[in-house]
A and B are shown apart, each in its own frame.
Chain A
Amino acid sequence: MALLEVENLRTDFTTDQGTVYAVRDVSFSIEQGEALGIVGESGSGKSQTMYSIIGLLADNGIVTANKIVFDGQDIVPGNFANKKAYENTMKDIRGNSMAMIFQDPMTFLNPIMKIGAQLTEPIMNHNKVTEKEAHELALELMRKVGIPSPEKRINQYPFEFSGGMRQRIIIAIALANNPKLIIADEPTTALDVTIQAQVLELIDELKKNSGSSVIMITHDLGVVAKLCDRIAIMYGGKIVEIGTDKEIFYDPKHPYTKGLLNCIANPDDDDDKDLEPIAGSPPDLLNPPKGCPFVDRCPDALRVCKEYQPDATKFSDTHQCSCWLHYEKAVKE
């Protein structure tokens, strides 16, 4: 059984300008021990998909779904008796079997609380341990994520840590209760390359050693190539293609995926190959296109694309893509 299963997740935001359709019928699942990458441009709905699942959505957001099952438990917000019951359940899950790592560690760390306290708190909240035992566990976690001289560091405040060190602390907090699922939202975007390499290596090791599943949100195709077993490509609030790392990189089916792969520079490749940018810019989710979200930028668009949304076509047990080009009956001119 999958660790997390999501079916037809929709997230709408009510704003003064109207409704923002941020996540539009997203379905995917993840197995224990697996790393899934979610790639897509800014505003494509990557973060809101995850916030909707873990219950950290802004107040103006509404989530509906046919199914969100985590570790055997139904966590569709609408299936709870009331908001309070939902929030309590999610709070419990979040500190425990599901953990989140954010792009900016300072949105998560309390600036006026010592690092030690921020580590021991989640441990004590979810386990029956003494303060001393929690302190020992905290030191062990700090060692595990590679913080030098943890005995000294544990008494310091976040501002005394560099960006890379703060991100390690966040990872240590996330690991405190051996989560089954770690959701990382651009965890290395703000870091330097050599520090990014350290943090990625750390996440990879933890995944391999602890058997946790990882969902990695990023717009860096290098990061998913390194870390992920499967990759979902998001565009305009939808998953337009999903497959194994090899299926996505070596046999992409969706014109957006193909475009994305053609406009990155692979420094190993021969140099003078020109990049092929994708013209135009992403759709406005306040007024999403009626048909395929990519239609305004797609070089291969068909007649049907503007009016109707394409269904998913299956290429293998793991690989599927939503595009009319792969639909037999669609008229190709």
Chain B
Amino acid sequence: MSEKPILSVRNLKTYFDVTKGLFSKKQIVKAVDDVSFDVLENETFGLVGESGCGKTTLGRTIVKLYEPEAGSIEFMGTDIAHLKGAELKSFRKDMQMIFQDPYASLNPRMTVGEIIKEPMIIHNIYNTDQEREERVVELLRIVGLKPDHIRRYPAEFSGGQRQRIGIARALAVNPKFIVCDEPISALDVSIQAQVINLLKNIQKEMGLSYLFIAHDLSMVKHISDRIGVMYLGHMVEMGKSDDVYHRPLHPYTTALLSAIPIPDPDTAKTKQRILLEGEIPSPINPPAGCPFSTRCPKASERCRKEMPQPIEVGGRMVACHLYER
């Protein structure tokens, strides 16, 4: 891992207009609200947070599937936040995405070979079909499938195998950076480890960077160098994964960690848990002040009025009034 960022996201905002009728009051979901972070070369940056906190939206905005409202996305030295057309296309090749659902993300009418070849054709990276075919065979080997799988259809594969096909497709154009959006959530425990190890090995071999999205904190800690914690569209804490896991600063991170069921009966049955009251507020009418103030056991009057700004504490970022001096 180097100290050089491959990706620098600054003050990124992605909003959705969800106003219902023509004459209704305007309703905006601030899915990603003022998020800043870096992903370093060869690094895995883990992104965690509960359903609806904006992880997928952030990932899709970075690979330019969604148009940001504001902010910058500097990728390999160029701000791509507002690039379009041909200028953007040259960057698209370098950033790929792996999806959560290995069933829905592959076209059922295409063979495995066609699926993996498609991005090569779009980006025009091999001259002949034979070269492409050779590369497909090599990719199948890398992800642990067999060369004769090339003519088969997705329906003939198990969940874990389909996820491997998705990974081979993402690798087809030799990207530098891959957004992995919950790549193992839909898989069986025994298969999850296969995919995690595969992603780690590929990273070592090809020098890739990952943005790894998941809500399984155990796996995220295992695979990530650094972790960012999101809540209601905001990045509330960020730091080295060991630090965040063993010494969480933000009250939400603390609660999230204490909620993980530890696979060890002695620990699990004796561990004191911080049970959060209530649920995540609607992103349409987020609470005033700190987004976590409605559930935070340490919330004060100030928290309900004033939004805490991200500050650095011991080499880490946290957005919470408790740490301001």
Show the binding face of A for B, using Cβ within 8 Å: 41-42, 148, 162, 164-165, 192-198, 200-201, 219-223, 225-226, 245-246, 249, 259-261, 263-268, 271, 274-279, 281-282
Q: Mind listing 9 A-B residue pairs with CB under 8 Å?
A: A41-B188, A198-B275, A222-B260, A222-B261, A225-B268, A225-B269, A271-B222, A281-B160, A282-B188
Known A-B contacts: A222-B268, A261-B263, A264-B189. Give 11 more (CB < 8 A).
Answer: A41-B190, A197-B273, A225-B264, A246-B266, A249-B265, A259-B190, A260-B189, A263-B189, A267-B260, A268-B262, A276-B193
A220 contact set on B, CB distance < 8 A = 189, 261
CA distance A203 to B197 in the complex (A): 35
* Interface status of B11 (Cβ within 8 A of chain A): no
Closest Cβ–Cβ distance, residue A272 to chain B (whole Å) = 9
A260 contact set on B, CB distance < 8 A = 189-190
A194 engages B259 (CB within 8 Å): yes
Closest Cβ–Cβ distance, residue A63 to chain B (whole Å) = 26
Candidates B161, B242, B263; contact of A266 at CB < 8 Å? B263
* Interface status of B51 (Cβ within 8 A of chain A): yes
B276 contact set on A, CB distance < 8 A = 194, 197-198
B255 contact set on A, CB distance < 8 A = 194
A226 engages B261 (CB within 8 Å): yes
Of B18-26, B166-174, B213-221, B283-291, which stretch is located at the interface? B213-221
A278 engages B190 (CB within 8 Å): yes
CA distance A190 to B259 in the complex (A): 15
CA distance A207 to B232 in the complex (A): 34
Contacts A193-B215, A219-B188, A222-B268 given; indicate if A263 touches B263 (C-beta within 8 A): no
Q: Which 7 A-B pairs have the closest CB atoms?
A: A222-B261, A263-B193, A277-B193, A197-B259, A265-B222, A245-B265, A275-B193
CA distance A249 to B188 in the complex (A): 19
Contacts A223-B261, A225-B263 given; indicate if A42 touches B273 (C-beta within 8 A): no
CA distance A198 to B276 in the complex (A): 8
B191 contact set on A, CB distance < 8 A = 41, 277, 281
CA distance A222 to B263 in the complex (A): 4
B259 engages A267 (CB within 8 Å): no
CA distance A264 to B276 in the complex (A): 26
CA distance A246 to B280 in the complex (A): 35
Contact with A along B157-168 (1 / 0, CB 8 A): 011110000000
Contact with A along B244-273 (1 / 0, CB 8 A): 010000000001101111111111110001
A249 engages B197 (CB within 8 Å): no
* Interface status of B279 (Cβ within 8 A of chain A): yes
A219 engages B189 (CB within 8 Å): yes
B262 engages A225 (CB within 8 Å): yes
B260 contact set on A, CB distance < 8 A = 193, 222, 267
A42 engages B188 (CB within 8 Å): yes
* Interface status of B196 (Cβ within 8 A of chain A): yes
CA distance A284 to B275 in the complex (A): 41
B279 engages A195 (CB within 8 Å): yes
B259 engages A265 (CB within 8 Å): no
A276 contact set on B, CB distance < 8 A = 193
CA distance A90 to B268 in the complex (A): 35
A264 engages B218 (CB within 8 Å): yes
- CB-CB nearest in chain A for B259: A197
- CB-CB nearest in chain B for A275: B193
B217 contact set on A, CB distance < 8 A = 193, 267
CA distance A249 to B269 in the complex (A): 13
Closest Cβ–Cβ distance, residue A316 to chain B (whole Å) = 16
A148 engages B190 (CB within 8 Å): no
Contacts A194-B50, A277-B197 given; indicate if A263 touches B265 (C-beta within 8 A): no
Most buried by A among B194, B215, B263, B278: B263
Closest Cβ–Cβ distance, residue B142 to chain A (whole Å) = 16
Closest Cβ–Cβ distance, residue B80 to chain A (whole Å) = 32
CA distance A226 to B197 in the complex (A): 27
Closest Cβ–Cβ distance, residue A59 to chain B (whole Å) = 25
- CB-CB nearest in chain B for A274: B197
A266 engages B264 (CB within 8 Å): yes
A267 engages B222 (CB within 8 Å): yes
Closest Cβ–Cβ distance, residue A254 to chain B (whole Å) = 13
CA distance A266 to B189 in the complex (A): 13
Candidates A42, A148, A226, A265; contact of B221 at CB < 8 Å? A265
A197 contact set on B, CB distance < 8 A = 258-259, 261, 273, 275-276
- CB-CB nearest in chain A for B50: A192
Closest Cβ–Cβ distance, residue A48 to chain B (whole Å) = 17
- CB-CB nearest in chain B for A222: B261
Closest Cβ–Cβ distance, residue A236 to chain B (whole Å) = 13
Closest Cβ–Cβ distance, residue B29 to chain A (whole Å) = 16
Closest Cβ–Cβ distance, residue B183 to chain A (whole Å) = 14
A266 engages B279 (CB within 8 Å): no
* Interface status of B36 (Cβ within 8 A of chain A): no
